[in-house]
Structure 1
Amino acid sequence: MELKINDYPFGARPEVTKPNKDLLKYLGESGIRNLVDDHYEMLRESKFSPLFPQDKDEFEAAKLRSSDFFIQVLGGPEYFNQNRGAPMLVKRHANFKITREARQVWMQCYQKLLPELDVPEELILSYWNYLDVFSSWMVNSEE
């Protein structure tokens, strides 16, 4: 299974295709939360750790918001909307300098984690393709 990170031009907004909702059926909410938790813990060890809250409670809250978002994207309850309002993630990330390199590291963490899931390959690829495009929208700094 090839999980290729595409390099989009700065400012590009490729069309986002939502992932197959069956991933949530396979993993359940707890599985999505564990995936996001593992992802954040890897990011915490990266050189881009300063982009994330340094306070333990704030870091845990960020993980919860992120897992709420992905559960919602996968057709689960609208926890994110209920707690934060409409996603507007480009706007919410505007205060953070997110470069192509930061996106690359973010994606590389998922590149390591997704193959470890015990789910059909097509579900991993569907989620990966969503993450690949979705993450490109967050890049807001050329360097």
Structure 2
Amino acid sequence: MDYKITKTVFGEKPEYKLPKPIFLEEMKEEGLIKLFDKFYDLVSDSDIGNFFPQDEEELEKVKAHNVKFFIEACGGEKHYSKTVGHFDMIKAHEPFSITEKARTEWLGCMEEILKEFDISDEAKISFWEYLETFSKHTVNVNTGLKLPEDIVKV
């Protein structure tokens, strides 16, 4: 399976589709809990680990909070809405300086963990496409730096 990452156009908020029901059907809530437990352990040790609590108890709270959101986004129980209410992606990420590089690191950690789960490619693609597009909404810092693929050679 190809875990393609497309570049964010700063300021653009692309439309995204929630994952297909097959993702939650194959993963089940227990699988999503396990996926995000492993994911947050990995991402908290990554180059963007400073965005996440380093205290184990606090990290466990983040895991529990965020997995509720993703269970609901994947068509599961409304655990998040019942306890937190509406989720505002932009507001939730305002306190952090999130660059395209940080987004790519976050997605890279998710790719690594998602590969560990034995579910269909259809389910993985559905979830990946959602995350890949949805994550563009979190980028709130335009570094102005050019990536090698942005430089046109004459």
TM-score, structure 1 normalization: 0.95
Q: Show the 5 A alignment for 1:102-121.
A: 102-121=102-121
How far, CA to CA, are the matches of 1:42 and 1:56 in structure 2? Answer: 13
Task: Give yes or no for the alignment of 1:50 onto 2:50.
Answer: yes
1:27 Cα deviation from its structure 2 partner: 1.3
List gaps (5 residues or longer) in structure 2. Answer: 144-154
Shift of 1:56: 1.8
Percent same amino acid at aligned positions?
34
Larger Rg over CA atoms? 2
Give, in whole Å, the separation in 1 of the partners of 2:18 and 2:103: 19
The answer on whether the counterparts of 2:26 and 2:123 sit within 8 Å (CA) in structure 1 is no
Secondary structure of the residue aligned to 1:116 is coil
Distance 1:76 1:13 in 2: 25
| Counterpart residue number, 2:150 | none
Partner deviation per Cα, 1:32-84 (whole Å, 9 max, x = no partner): 01111111111111121111122222111111111101100111111111111
Secondary structure of the corresponding residue to residue 9 of structure 2: coil
Matched residues in 2 for 1:126 and 1:27: separation?
12
RMSD: 1.0
Q: Find the aligned partners of 1:15 and 1:45 in 2 and give their Cα distance.
A: 30
The answer to whether structure 1 residue 59 and structure 2 residue 59 are counterparts is: yes
**What 5-or-longer segments of structure 1 have no aligned partner?**
none
Instruction: Provide the TM-score with structure 2 as the length reference.
Output: 0.89
Report runs of 4+ in structure 1 exceeding 3 Å deviation: none
Aligned-partner Cα distance in 1 for 2:84–2:141: 25
- Within 5 Å, which residues of 2 pair with 1:56-135? 56-135=56-135
Counterpart residue type for residue 54 of structure 1: Q
